[in-house]
Structure 1
Amino acid sequence: MIPAIPFNEFVVKVASRCNLACDYCYVYEAADQSWRDQPRVMTDETFARVCAAIAAHADGPVSLVFHGGEPLLAGAATIERFAALARDIIGPVTLRLQTNGTLITAGFAAACARQGIRVAVSLDGGSAANDKHRVRPDGGSSFSRVRDGVALLAAERDVFAGFLCVVDASNDPVETYEALLEHRPPAVDFLLPHANWAAPPPHPGAYGDWLVAVFERWYRAPTRETRVRLFDDIVTLVLGGSVASETVGLAPVRVAVFETDGSIEQVDALKTAYPGAAALPIASLDAALREPGIVARQIGVSALADECLRCPVRDVCGGGNYVHRYDPARGFRAPSVYCADLLRLITHIAAAVRADVSRLSRAR
C-alpha cells in the first residue's frame, strides 16, 4: 500500500457566486449544482477554522489559493484581512488568487503587493475569442474590464502571475497565444475544457493539433516570451524529470478544496461528472487522504485504465487529467476523453526535444 501524502495546496473558496456567466463553467454550468446551498461569502470565523485545519495537517511548505466563484466578490478588504490571518495561523504560506479580472481595482492590486499575493487571471485570448464564452450575465463583453484589471496588476511588482486560458479549438491557436502575449504575462496555462465520456468536448480530436500549433510558435521563438506550464511540464517529463500537475505525469495530487461553509472537497472540476462527485463525507484533511477518490489520484500507475498501461507515453501523459477520464460505465478508470489529443501533443513535443538534444550532443 502506497502511503498517503499530505495535501500541500489548498483552494479556499472565499465567495461562492460569480459576476460572469461563462458557458463552460465547471461550477455553475455543470451537473453538480451544490453551489446553490453554499454561503455567498466565507466568514472570518470559517476562514480561521480552515487555516487551523491546514496548520494541523500540513507537513512542509503550504500554498493557499483564494478562489470562488469570483473571490473579489468577497471584497478586497476581506482578501487582505484573510491573507494576514492565514500567516498568523498557518505561518509561512504562499498566497495566490484566481480571478476573472473584471473587479480588479488599483486598491486591490496594491493590497496584493502588500500581502505578497500573486494573482492569475482567466482570459481566453483577444476580445473576440474571449467573449465567445466569458461574458457578463446580460451577454455583454468582459474583455475590456479584464484588460484594464491586468494592467493594474502589472503596475505592481510581482503581483501578476499570468493567465489561465481555456482552449477553444475553433479559435486560431497562434492568434490566441499572441493576443495573450500582448499583456506580457509571466506564464500562460492552457486548459482543456472540462469534458468526459458522458459529456464530450465540443471539438473532439482538434485539441492536439491546436496545442501543437501553439507549441511550435512558443518553442521556435528566438527568445523565451513566457512560460507555458503545460509545455514546460511535458518537456520536463520527456527529459526524465518530475512535475506536480493535474494534467500530465504521475505525481500524486496534493490539492484539497474548502467551500465557503468550510467543508472539504476534492478538486471541484469533478462537478462536471455527476452531482456529488467532488464531495467528501469527512470533516478532516487527514481523513480525506483515506477517501477512494483521493487515493486514486495519489497512486499513479495503479489507477490507470488498461489502455493507458500499454501506451508508449504513459509516464508523461499519466492518463491525463483525472476529471477527463469519467465514463458512466467505468467510472474514472478510463482513458482521458482527450487521449488522442494528448498522444498527438506529447509525441510531437518529445520528437522536437529529442531532435534538439541530439543536435546539441553532435555539436560538442
Structure 2
Amino acid sequence: MQRVRPFSLLIKPVSADCNLRCRYCFYLDHLDFYPGKKHRMTDETLEAIIRTYLSVPLHEHIFLWQGGEPTLMGLEFFERVAELQDRYSPPGGRVSNGLQTNATLLTDELARHLKAHEYLVGVSIDGPPEIHDEHRLSTPGRATHEQVIAGLETLRKHGVECNVLCVVTQANAPHGKEVYRYLKSLGFDFHQYIPCVEFDPAGALADFAVGGEAWGQFLSDVFEEWRKSDTRRVSVRQFDSIVNKLVLGRPTLCPMDTNCCQYFVVEFSGDVYPCDFFVRSELSLGNVRSHAWVEMLAEPKYVEFGARKPRWHSDCQRCDYLELCAGDCLKHRGPPGSAPETKSVLCDGWKAFYSHSLPTFRSLAKEIERELRTV
C-alpha cells in the first residue's frame, strides 16, 4: 500500500477545558466555541480517531494529547487509548504518544501508565516561582508552581520521560538566562520556548504578550547560556530546528517551514482543523466519524491554508534570514483576520537573534556534517 505524506494528530479530548486559568491562555477567547461548560470525548469518537488514523499507511503514527488539560479525562481514558492502539495498530507498526500537561492533576497510577506506554510528557513551567506564578494561576486565582513541581516529582518517581514547555511573556522575557538555568536545574534536557503573541480587541499586542525586541533578547540570552557548555547536552527546540535546517535542509518546527500542513487538530467532538491556533468554523475540515484522513489531506481548505505560509511580507523576500524564518507563524502575522502578507510582530526579534547566533549555529552545523561523513 502506498504511503501518504506523514502527519501527526494533536488531539484535545477535553477541548479547552482546564483546571487552571492562565492569564495569557489563548483558549480563553474560545471557551464558547463549543456550547456547554464541560467537554469530554466519547468512546465512539476516540475509537474512530485511533482506528482510522492507524489504518493510514505511515512509517510512524504520532498521537499528541493536549488541551486545555488532557489529564482531566482521568486514568481510564488513557487505559482505553492503549487498548485501542493495541487493537488497531498494524503488524510492525510504530506508535508514539505525547502528552502536554500542567502537571497539577497527575497521580501515581497515571504516571505508571504513562511510563508503561512510553509517553513523552511535556510539562508547562514558565520559570522560577515568582515568574511562573504571575500568569499560571488556578481557577480561584492561586499560585500553581508548587503543585507543578509535585507533579513533576511524581513523573520522575516513575521514570516518565519529560521535557519542558515555557511560554514566553512580558513577565519572563527579561529573564532568559535565569529561566534557562532554572529549567536546567530541574533536570530538563529538552526545552521548548513558545512566544506568547496575543492581541487585544483593538488589534494591539496584549499587555502580557511578548514583543519582537523582547523575544529576540530572550532567545539571545538563552542562547548565550546554552552555548557555554550545553550545545550537545541540552536540546532547545528552536536551536535544533536551525541546525537541522543547516545540516539537512529542512526545519523541525512548523513556523520555520514553508507550508503549514504539518498535522491535524482533533477536537473532543471529532471535528478536525488545520492548526491549534486556527480552530475556526470556517476552517473545519470534517469529522473523524464521517471523513477519511486522505480526504481531509486533499481538502481544498487545508491545502489553501498551508499555501498561505509562503505568502509573506514583501520585505521577507529580501531578508537574509528568510530560509530560516519563512515569514514566521501565521498566528504572529497580526491579529485574527490579518492577511498572510502581514509582517510578523516578532520580525525584529528574529532578525536580532539570528544576527547574534547564526555564526555559532553555522559552525556547529559544519562540525556535525564532518561527524556524519565519518559514520
Is 2:265 the partner of 1:260?
no
Q: Tell me how far 1:84 sits from its aligned partner.
A: 2.5
**Structure 1 residue 242 corresponds to structure 2 residue 250:** yes
1:142-181 pair list within 5 angstroms: 142-157=144-159, 159-171=160-172, 172-181=175-184
Deviations 1:193-241 (A, max 9, x none): 1336934253422110111011110112267442111111123324453
Contact conserved, 1:80 with 1:112, CA < 8 A, in 2?
Answer: no
Say yes or no: does 1:345 pair with 2:353. Answer: yes
Look up the match of 2:104.
Answer: 102
Q: Equivalents in 1 of 2:310, 2:141: separation in Å?
A: 45
- Partners of 1:298 and 1:129 in 2: CA distance: 36
Where does residue 197 of structure 2 map in the other structure?
194
Name the stretch that deviates more: 36-45 or 225-234: 36-45
Secondary structure of 1:34 counterpart: coil
Q: Within 2, Cα distance between the matches of 1:331 and 1:133?
A: 30
- 1:228 has 2:236 as partner: yes
Residues 20 and 355 of structure 1: is their aligned pair in 2 closer, same or farther, counting only changes over 3 Å? same
The offset of 1:290, in angstroms, is: 3.6
Q: 1:240 to 1:246 in 2, by over 3 A?
A: same
Q: Matches of 2:368 and 2:99 in 1, distance apart? A: 40
Q: Structure 2 vs 1, CA of residues 100 and 354 (structure 1 numbering), >3 Å: closer, same or farther?
A: same
Residue 77 (structure 2) pairs with residue 74 (structure 1): no
Deviation at 1:135, TM superposition (A): 0.5
Aligned residues: 353
Q: 1:314-351 CA deviation, whole Å, 9 max, x = no partner? A: 11111111221245674233232211111222232212
Aligned residue for 1:213, secondary structure, equals helix
Q: Quick check: 1:318 aligned with 2:334? A: no
Say whether the 8 Å CA contact 1:50–1:262 is kept in structure 2.
yes
Report the equivalent of 1:182.
Answer: 185
Name the CA distance, whole Å, in 1 between partners of 2:322 and 2:231: 31
2:293 to 285, 292, 295: 285
Using the TM superposition, give the Cα deviation of residue 35 of structure 1 relative to its aligned residue in structure 2, in angstroms: 4.0
Counterparts of 1:258 and 1:18 in 2: how far apart (Å)? 17
Letter in 2 for 1:10: L
Q: Which moved more, 1:166-175 or 1:142-151?
A: 166-175
1:269 maps to 277
Task: Say whether the 8 Å CA contact 1:14–1:74 is kept in structure 2.
Answer: yes
Residue 25 of structure 1 corresponds to 25
Answer 1 or 2: higher relative contact order, Cα 8 Å, separation at least 6. Answer: 1
Tell me the CA shift for residue 250 of structure 1.
Answer: 2.9
State the one-letter code of the partner of 1:142: T
Q: Distance in 2 between matches of 1:38 and 1:55?
A: 31
Q: 1:108-140 deviations in whole A, cap 9, x for unaligned?
A: 110111122221111101111111111001110
Q: Which amino acid aligns with 2:284?
A: A
SS of match in other structure, 1:125:
coil
DSSP 3-state at the match of 2:137? coil
SS of 1:22's partner is coil
Residues 162 and 186 in structure 1, CA contact (< 8 A), matched pair in contact too: yes
Query: SS of the residue aligned with 1:231?
Result: helix
What is the CA-CA distance between 1:142 and the residue it aligns to? 0.9
How big is the shift at 1:106?
A: 1.4
SS in 2 for 1:303: coil
What is the alpha-carbon distance in structure 1 between the residues aligned to residue 188 and residue 348 of structure 2?
29
Name the SS of the counterpart of 2:65 in structure 1: strand
Task: Give the residue type in structure 1 aligned to 2:162.
Answer: A
- Contact 2:247/2:368, CA 8 A, preserved across alignment: no
Contact 1:63 1:94 in 2 (8 A): yes
Contact 2:11–2:65 (CA<8 Å) still a contact in 1?
A: yes
Show the counterpart of 2:52: 53
Q: Which moved more, 1:337-346 or 1:280-289?
A: 280-289
Cα deviation code 1:53-89 (max 9, x no counterpart) = 3134453311001122111110022112212312322
1:30 aligns to what SS in structure 2?
helix
Q: Secondary structure at 1:45's aligned position in 2?
A: helix
Query: Which stretches in structure 1 are left out of the alignment for 5+ residues?
Result: none
Distance (Å, rounded) in 1 between the aligned partners of 2:246 and 2:356:
11
Distance 2:266 2:339 in 1: 24
Paired amino acid for 2:274 = Q
Distance 1:251 1:290 in 2: 14
SS at match of 1:132: helix
| Map of 1:332 onto structure 2 | 340
Distance 1:57 1:96 in 2: 19
| CA distance in structure 1 between the aligned counterparts of 2:274 and 2:365, rounded to whole angstroms | 39
Gaps of 5+ in 2: 370-375
Distance 1:142 1:58, change over 3 A: farther
Cα offset, 1:305, TM superposition: 3.2
CA distance, structure 2, for counterparts of residue 360 and residue 114 of structure 1: 34
Query: Structure 1 residue 41: deviation in Å?
Result: 1.3
- Cα distance between partner residues in 2 of 1:238 and 1:50: 36
Question: Do the aligned residues in 1 keep the contact of 2:54 with 2:89 (CA within 8 Å)?
Answer: yes
Q: 1:140 to 1:290 in 2, by over 3 A?
A: same
SS at match of 1:73: helix
Aligned-pair CA distance for 1:37: 4.8
Contact 2:99–2:120, Cα closer than 8 Å, also in 1: yes
- Tell me the TM-score normalized by structure 2: 0.84
Amino acid at match of 1:181: K
- The counterpart of 1:124, out of the listed 123, 126, 138, is 126
C-alpha contact (below 8 Å) 1:194/1:269 kept by paired residues: no
**Alignment of 1:218 onto 2:218:** no
Amino acid at match of 2:26: Y
Report the equivalent of 2:372. none
